A and B are shown apart, each in its own frame.
Chain A
Amino acid sequence: MDIGEIIDRGFGSTGKRRAHIVFTGRGREYFSVWIVNVLLTIATLGIYLAWAKVRTRRYFTWNTFLEGHHFDYLAGPRSILIGHVIVFGGMAAVYAAREWFTALGAVITLAAYAAVPWLIYKALRFRARNTAYRGVRFRFLGTPGRAYLVYGLIPGPFLVYSAAAAIYAATGAEQEPAFMTYLASLSAILGIAAFILYPYWMYLRKKYAYGNISFGATRSIFRGEVKFFYKAYVKTMFMAALAVFVALAGVFAVTGALVFSGGLASGAGIAAFLVPAMVGAAAYFTFEQYLYATVTNHCLNNLTIGKISFSCDIDPLRLVFIRLTNVAASALTLGILIPWAVTRRYAYVTGRITVIGADELDGMKAGEDADQSAAGDAALDYFDMDVGW
């Protein structure tokens, strides 16, 4: 027994053994996998993408270790390919319909959005079921109905309103000032409502994802709290504002130096392009990553699967830094450094996760089998939606 274990058993809240998640992947190694993926995907006009995804996910799961055992990714490329075809076909149909029936464009788009909660449900099931540890698969036990509530009912009114407003604007009818002010205030109210409801919506989405997983036959319990999401949201907004301030200061310093050194014309031109880009990027990435870190910490800290619990302490500022430098590096190298960026971020995040009660990992049972469909999974990747975990 070393000091760490003594402290854990003595002062640790539960005296349970902790195990860290270890990522053995490396950027240089993943680069080889990635470049071959890119080459074949482009050469096959995207058909190989299904195989590429499987290889990528396998590379990451097979290099993620817990207690000396790695995770596994079981999906076959063929089902993912079918998913791609369905999504691609669906999107093409929607675009075509919108072009030829422009007046109904908003309606058709709404109808397409109606499929989204179902696709999310399918994607969560597919992703969970095809991930395994020591031969036991994960499962997702959420219902499609709940998906419609969380991803349909809540954003619904806002989407419908935007669509209706778009249709109305498209008709180009003359509007009375009184009606316009009414519309404007309605928009403002809905905007404020969306702003206020967002953290609650985030809580519901995370609850749907985290609260409905099971490792084999062992179901998860999610004890996240709504008020934490609001706190996290406020902190994140503050951080994003700070980032904007820093970015503005930085950009003006750079362009000021340029102007001073005599490159006036080019300085002004570059500034016109740089300022909105840098400030926008700073705000967006800071918001995105800071929120992700804080929320993920909270979700994992309040997640239990049977007798196993988790501890997650991602440093939000470090994650923001990682993201900003990753994007800069990728941009400056025309994308070549992407594999290093991806492995770096993954290594950092997984490295901050601890499994508590590792002794329970032996002898856990598998669950009943269920059907699988890759269409939802493909839709997620296509739209890059931040769903689930």
Chain B
Amino acid sequence: MKNFGGTHFDGTTTRKNPVMMKAEGSNLIIEPVPGSGQTGRMEFRLEDLKIEPPLSTGFRIIRLPHPHGHIETPELAAVKAIEESAGVNRAARLLHLFESNLRLTLLACLFTAALIAGLTYYGIPALADRAAREIPPQAAKFISDNAVKELDKSIFKPSKLAEDKKEHIREIYGEFAEKAGIAPSELLFREMAGAPNAFALPSSYIVVTDKMASFVESDDELMGVLAHETAHMAEKHALRQILRNTGVYLLISLATGEVASTLSAGAAIPALLVESGYSRKFEAEADALGASLMVRTGRTVESMIKFLERIEREYPQSASSGPLSTHPSTKSRLENLKALR
């Protein structure tokens, strides 16, 4: 092999020494450049050297065994030849190929996009749903109990509903669950500000607000709401949503290589979009399953439709539909329900 030139930094001072190098057999010989005033020939076995992987800089670095410092050289081809003959840095050189070739870089982009899309639409949901199935009911109840405690301290107030009204609701819900062949969840009654609401807490409780109890015009309508929430419960939507969101958060962290940096805050918008997407899908599923439960228990989908129309009239959604909302647009929900009549 030919001689090639470089600079030696001995690691003990900032002084640099110009040197000439040659690969001979399985060794690298380093000699000071004649006339540089340096003396001292060095010889190392190639396997004792660390040739740093290439980056798109105009130099390569070869680290010598401690305490001899390192060599730098602009002779990229020469170093590449040594790497190839010694069979080192194969993976790193492949990597660098992807980095330095525009077409391969674009290929890497495509792979990355495909990987992220695959994980977002298939991988994360599949894993999250699997995990949700594995979580024992006691653990889910534990989470819900904590959630109820927190909510009771903040936005919940004790229910002002009459006791016999509560009993009645519990009774017809019990019948409903029995006819539908689903284990009934415990009903909790609370007062909450804002629009009439009912929601399912991970796998254990359905909360009904006073406003909701008084807003419904019939037992049928109330069951429609509870059917929707029961569907959420049966399909473990809340738990799956939490796990999916965690997955998305982890994916973003991996992609940006850091946790919660201000730059990844910019990448958090796609996270919100994805999470809202998951949520809308669950809401649509709950509508469909709820409707079928209504039919199975001898009630009709009509009451769900009437309820949705009325609540849209009296409490129109402000941030109605759009990629960031958690529910599908009321229009599409009504369309889907009407198709199930």
Q: How far is the CB of B6 from chain A (nearest CB, A)?
A: 13
Instruction: Check if B183 is an interface residue, CB within 8 A of chain A.
Output: no
- Write out, one digit per residue, whether chain B residues 292-325 have a CB within 8 A of any chain A CB (1) or not (0): 0000000000000000000000000011101010
Q: Contacts A39-B108, A55-B55 given: A269-B318 contact, CB under 8 Å?
A: yes
A225 at the interface (CB under 8 A from B): no
- Give the chain B neighbours of A341 by CB distance below 8 A: 263
Measured between alpha carbons, how far is A273 from B115 in the docked complex, in Å? Answer: 30
Contact A49 B254 (CB under 8 A): yes
| Closest Cβ–Cβ distance, residue B46 to chain A (whole Å) | 19
Interface status of A43 (Cβ within 8 A of chain B): yes
Instruction: List residues of chain A with CB within 8 A of the CB of B116.
Output: 42
- In this assembly, does B335 line the interface, its C-beta being within 8 Å of a C-beta of chain A? no
Using A32-B99, A35-B105, A335-B255 as known contacts, say yes or no to A42 and B115 having CB atoms under 8 A apart: yes
A265 within 8 A of B: yes
How far, in Å, is A338 (CB) from chain B's closest CB? 6
Contact code string B1-27 (vs A, CB < 8 Å = 1, else 0): 000000001111111100000000000
Q: Does B147 contact A (CB under 8 A)?
A: no
A335 lies within 8 A of B10 (CB): no
Within residues 69 to 120 of chain A, which ones have a CB less than 8 A from any CB in chain B? Answer: 69-70, 72, 102
Stretch at the interface among A139-147, A182-190, A323-331: A323-331
Q: In the complex, which of the residues B14, B259, B269 contacts A135, with contact meaning CB atoms closer than 8 Å? A: B14
Question: Is B266 among interface residues, defined by CB-CB distance under 8 A?
Answer: yes
CB–CB B112/A39 < 8 A: yes
By beta carbon, the residue of chain B nearest A76 is B50
The minimal Cβ–Cβ distance linking A343 to chain B, given in whole angstroms, is 12
Number of A-B residue pairs at CB separation under 8 A:
157
Question: B267 in the interface, Cβ–Cβ < 8 Å?
Answer: yes
CB of B121 within 8 Å of the partner chain: no
A318 at the binding interface (Cβ < 8 Å):
no
The interface stretch among A4-12, A154-162, A228-236, A380-388 is: A380-388
- Specify which chain B residues have a CB less than 8 angstroms from the CB of A52 in the assembled complex: 257
- How many residues on chain A are close to B (CB under 8 Å)? 69
Cβ A338 vs Cβ B119 within 8 A: no
Provide the A313-349 mask, 1 if CB < 8 A to any CB of B, else 0.
0000000000100111111001100100110000000
The residue in chain B whose Cβ has the minimal distance to the Cβ of A30 is B56
B52 / chain A contacts, CB cutoff of 8 Å: 58
Q: Which residues of B contact A172 (CB under 8 A)?
A: 149, 153
* Chain A nearest CB, measured from B12 CB (Å): 5
Distance (whole angstroms) from the CB of A76 to the closest CB of chain B: 9
A372 at the interface (CB under 8 A from B): no
CB-CB < 8 A to B267: which residues of A?
A: 330-331, 334-335, 338
A36: which of B98, B255, B319 is its contact (CB, 8 Å)?
B98
Looking at A203-211, A240-248, A250-258, A359-367, the stretch in contact with chain B turns out to be A359-367
Closest Cβ of chain A to B143, distance in Å, is: 9
A44 vs chain B, min Cβ distance (A) = 9
Tell me how far the C-beta of B258 lies from the nearest C-beta in chain A, rounded to whole angstroms: 6
Q: Is A268 an interface residue (CB 8 A)?
A: yes
The reply on B69 being an interface residue by CB < 8 A is: yes
Cα(A363)–Cα(B12), bound, Å: 9
Cα(A335)–Cα(B258), bound, Å: 13
Q: Considering the chains assembled together, what is the distance between the CA atoms of A58 and B92 in angstroms?
A: 14
CB-nearest residue of chain A relative to B15?
A363
How big is the B interface, by class?
35 or more
8 Å CB contact of B12 from A59, A335, A366: A366
Residues of A close to B115: CB separation below 8 A: 39, 42-43
Q: Tell whether A263 is near chain B: CB-to-CB under 8 Å.
A: no
Report the separation of the CA atoms of residues A55 and B324 in the bound assembly, to the nearest whole angstrom: 36
Min CB–CB distance A69 → chain B (angstroms): 8
Flag if A327 contacts B262 (CB, 8 Å): yes
A53 sits at the interface (CB 8 A): yes
Contact with B along A158-196 (1 / 0, CB 8 A): 000000000001001000000000000000000000000
**Beyond A135-B11, A338-B263, is A42–B98 a contact (Cβ under 8 Å)?**
no
Cross-chain contact A323 with B262 (CB below 8 angstroms): yes
Are B266 and A365 in contact, CB atoms less than 8 angstroms apart? no
A198 at the interface (CB under 8 A from B): no
Does A285 have its Cβ within 8 Å of any Cβ on chain B? Answer: yes
Contact between chains at B55 and A335 (CB < 8 Å): no
Q: Judging by beta carbons under 8 Å apart, are A288 and B262 in contact?
A: yes
The answer on a CB contact under 8 Å between A135 and B254 is no
Chain A residue numbers with a CB within 8 Å of B111 are 39
Q: Is the CB of A365 within 8 A of B263?
A: no
Q: How far is the CA of A56 from the CA of B250 in the complex (A)?
A: 20
| Chain B stretch 241-284: residues in CB contact (< 8 A) with chain A | 251, 254-267, 269-270
Indicate which residue in B14, B57, B153 contacts A134 across the interface (CB closer than 8 Å): B14
Kindly provide the distance from the CB of B237 to the nearest chain A CB, expressed in whole angstroms.
21
CB < 8 Å: which of A36, A45, A136 contacts B14? A136
Q: Which residues of B contact A323 (CB under 8 A)?
A: 262
CA distance A153 to B315 in the complex (A): 52
Q: Mark A27-56, 1 if CB is under 8 A from B, else 0.
A: 001011101111101110110010011011
Asked whether A342 lies within 8 Å of B320 as measured between CB atoms, the reply is no
The chain A residue with its CB closest to the CB of B12 is: A366
Interface residues of A (CB under 8 A from B): 24, 29, 31-33, 35-39, 41-43, 45-46, 49, 52-53, 55-56, 58-59, 62-63, 69-70, 72, 102, 133-137, 169, 172, 216, 265-266, 268-270, 272-273, 281, 284-285, 288, 323, 326-331, 334-335, 338, 341-342, 361-366, 381-384
14 pairs from A and B in contact (CB 8 Å cutoff): A32-B105, A35-B108, A39-B112, A55-B53, A135-B12, A135-B13, A135-B14, A169-B153, A273-B324, A328-B266, A331-B267, A335-B266, A382-B258, A384-B259
Besides the known contacts A36-B99, A135-B13, A328-B266, 10 further A-B residue pairs in the complex with CB atoms under 8 A apart: A31-B105, A41-B255, A41-B257, A42-B254, A135-B12, A136-B13, A327-B265, A335-B255, A335-B267, A361-B14
9 closest A-B pairs by beta carbon, nearest first, are A135-B9, A330-B266, A331-B266, A269-B319, A32-B99, A134-B14, A335-B267, A39-B112, A32-B105
Contact residues of B with A, CB < 8 Å? 9-16, 52-53, 55-57, 59, 61, 69-70, 95, 98-100, 105, 108-109, 111-112, 115-116, 119, 146, 149, 153, 251, 254-267, 269-270, 318-320, 322, 324
